[in-house]
Chains A and B, each alone.
Chain A
Amino acid sequence: MKAVHGAVRSWALQRATAVFALAFLLYFLLHLALVPPVTPAEWRGWLLAPAMRLAMLLFFVAVALHAWVGVRDVILDYIKPLGLRLGALLLLALWLAGTVGWVALTLSTAA
């Protein structure tokens, strides 16, 4: 087994996160359609179960990683000046990290 390196790493990461996000979304929508939670207690019981919290956190992490690879590619294509490019990448990283952090905080504190 060789270490994964080079551009194939981000490419594979983007594919893997897409598969996970899609699987989670399918489960989420199917669950909503087939066994829709009605009362607040049902909603809580479903969304705040430890496994579901973990799955939702992983979903947001996956989407953030997916977006990081994709938007980084767009930035590399369209923003050529180095300073502007680094600034855009930094903003993107902060925004994605902030979003995931907020999700993690919400999921870990919600009761």
Chain B
Amino acid sequence: MKLSIYRYEPEKSAKPRMVDYEIELRGERMLLDVLERLKAEDPSVSYRRSCREGVCGSDAMNINGRNGLACLTNIRTLKEPVVLRPLPGFPVIRDLVVDMTRFYRQYYAVRPRVIANAPPPERERLQSPEQREAIDGLYECILCACCSSSCPSYWWNPERFLGPAALLQAARFIADSRDDDTDRRLEELNDAYKLFRCRVIMNCADVCPKGLNPAAAIEGLRTAIVQRSF
């Protein structure tokens, strides 16, 4: 299998370059398996991985021009040579490894936890099945950053626009029946950049490896703000 991989080794060269590899397959099915084979042959190739089954979100990368998880990408779906690049719009640390600091800062900025005013009950905070269903399509996010990294609005304003991933998380806690801080959360998002830079391009929904739709969640946030404003 032919691969063309973005290599950036700051100790060797200040400039990144594309390097071609030819790998003999031995029954590998997923792109991550091919990368593991390559890593065994050339240990200098760097990428992140952990669970290898689409739960941890570590191996997000740009595969043939499209963001995705290497572990969930079947190699039969890929045209050769397979071009692998780090996530667009993120600072590259080395090869396919990007700096996620800003991304996580934006995640923390939406206060991604249930904030409840009532004193904690003796047992868990119960939800009805309907209340639980309200966070379906929101809670499954694994923070792989495929969405934010494919969003042109995020490329243009990476410091000020929160990006689809963080906004999906904001929507997740606003939709949560156990959370009492909805007003403040929406108030914080009612800003020219944090939320309203979304132009509904929908690359986020297109690439999400978990099949989520951050654009719809963002639309829900806008609707909620509008409803509270009039």
Residues of A within 8 A of B (CB): 1-12, 73, 76-78
Contact = CB atoms under 8 A, between A and B. Distances in A.
A7 B196 contact: yes
A6 B195 CA distance: 11
Nearest to A6: B190
Contacts of B187: 6
Nearest to B160: A76
A7 B192 contact: yes
A8 B157 contact: no
Secondary structure at the B interface, as helix, strand, loop or mixed, is loop
B156 A4 contact: no
Interface string B186-197: 010011110111
Interface stretch (B4-12, B104-112, B206-214, B222-230): B222-230
Contacts of A76: 192
Given A7-B191, A11-B226, 15 more contacts: A2-B229, A4-B229, A4-B230, A5-B190, A6-B190, A6-B191, A6-B225, A7-B190, A8-B190, A8-B222, A10-B196, A11-B196, A11-B222, A77-B157, A78-B156
A6 B226 CA distance: 11
28 contacts: A2-B229, A3-B229, A4-B229, A4-B230, A5-B190, A5-B229, A6-B187, A6-B190, A6-B225, A7-B190, A7-B191, A7-B193, A7-B195, A7-B196, A8-B196, A8-B222, A8-B226, A8-B229, A9-B229, A10-B192, A10-B196, A11-B196, A11-B222, A11-B226, A12-B226, A12-B229, A73-B197, A77-B157
